[in-house]
Structure 1
Amino acid sequence: MGHLLSKQPQVQVLLLGLDNAGKSTLLYKMKHNVSVSTVPTIGFNVEMLDARKNRKPIVVTLWDVGGQRKMREHWQKYHQNAAAVVFVVDASDRARLGEARAELEKTLQSEQLRGCPLILLANKQDVSGALTITELKDRFKLRKMCSGRDWFVQPCSATMGVGVEETFRKVVQMARIPPEAV
């Protein structure tokens, strides 16, 4: 309840990616440091986390939006006021990489997300055959796709917790705080 009454700056961060990429698992690992069994997200999950940016407290609201094909057409409703986008990719699912890349490209073309920082998560690094971050950068042509915005690729395993804390720190570091919130 303290979040709502505080004068701390608040930032909205979108957690997007195809279904089964590991978004909800990542969200609850960040929030509660536990691995949870999840079911496909219909709609969204939202969690608020306290953080510090430039030694000042901020509140990060993470919006985990469902990644099924029917849900993706609603992603743009969440673009407004986004301080950063975290796009989660199942780095072990080579068959769906093209689909993930196309959805990321479509998302980043949104006028509301112009210049918005991107953290691309190469999730499921604990699965044999998962793409490395270099392979993912090349496959997604990130240098070209992310021209005009800050971006970063982070390997992680949401279920194991590897790279999750680093991801959250990077999100906080890269998130744009709206001028009116400072």
Structure 2
Amino acid sequence: MGNQLSERAPGGPFLPGLAQSLHIVVVGLDSSGKTSLLYRLKLGEFVETVPTKGFNMERVRLSGGGGGGLYQVWDVGGQDKQRPLWKAYARRTDGLVFVVDAADTERLEEARAELHRMARCPESQGAPILLLANKQDLPGAMTPAQVEKALSVHELSPSTLLHTQGCSALDGDGLQPGLDLLHDMILQQRRSQRQSRKKR
């Protein structure tokens, strides 16, 4: 659904007439629930998905809180061979969503390494990060605080705006509050950049 078998990254105005939409990139390990989260946002229901080859892109209009508005969401495949492409999709992004399967404790070290790599790559540096601890509906899922600790979020640059939010693609819990906070962080980042330019 919406899957594009192309490895081109976005560039320039993302779609005609949508220059004001926020460009959000969703990354994370394979099977973390990225595509299910995207279609929960788009359709308001849980959709069974297959592993993403390349990317999915959807325009999502959200309402409520500070995060209301139009989002252009790029969901990029999380398999090993696709991860080097993440940074190309993150170029010129307004915000980054990193999805973690909070019930899969065996892959947290792998997720930690990928989160830190993305936070430090020049293409996405400065972009606010929403860390989604997905699958909170499953027994034994780690809390957002436990996921933060396991992913060593405290080691990221102090200038990185980051919020960790528990969520579930199955029932949609936690998604809207998380996106509202990402929207707020994006606005905060833009204000900070404007002030920085004025001081030069």
Which bin holds the TM-score, normalised by the shorter protein? 0.7 to 0.9
Matches of 1:31 and 1:130, distance apart in 2: 25
Residue of structure 2 equivalent to 1:29: 40
Aligned length: 176
Q: Residue 100 of structure 2 corresponds to which residue in structure 1?
A: 89
Relative to the length of structure 1, the TM-score reads: 0.87
Provide structure 2 residue ranges, at least 5 long, that are not aligned to the other structure: 1-14, 192-200
- Gap regions ≥5 residues in structure 1: none
Structure 2: which amino acid aligns with 1:5?
G
**Distance (Å, rounded) in 1 between the aligned partners of 2:171 and 2:68:** 28
Aligned match for 1:155, one of 166, 178, 183: 166
* In structure 2, C-alpha distance between the alignment counterparts of 1:136 and 1:154, rounded to whole Å: 10
Q: Decide which of 73, 77, 96 is 2:84's aligned counterpart.
A: 73
- Equivalent in the alignment of 2:183: 172
1:56, 1:76 → 2: CA distance? Answer: 24
Which structure has greater strand proportion? 1
Q: 2:17 maps to which residue? A: 5
- Paired residue for 1:111? 122
Q: Secondary structure at the match of 1:115?
A: coil
Structure 1 CA distance for aligned equivalents of residues 147 and 43 of structure 2 = 28
User: Percent identity over the alignment?
Assistant: 35
Q: Which runs of 4+ in 1 moved over 3 A?
A: 51-58, 176-179
TM score, norm. by length of structure 2: 0.80
8 Å Cα contact 1:117-1:174 kept in structure 2: yes
* Cα deviation code 1:64-113 (max 9, x no counterpart): 00001111011111121111110000000000000001011111111121
Does the 8 Å contact 1:11/1:175 carry over to 2? no
On the 8 A contact 1:14/1:62 being kept in 2, the answer is: yes
Cα offset for 1:175? 2.5
Task: Tell which has more relative contact order, 1 or 2 (C-alpha 8 A, sep 6+).
Answer: 1
Distance 2:154 2:174 in 1: 22
Paired residue secondary structure (1:76): helix
Q: Deviation at 1:53?
A: 9.8
Summarize deviations over 1:127-180 as a string: whole Å, max 9, x none. 11111111111111212214211110000011121112222222322235879x
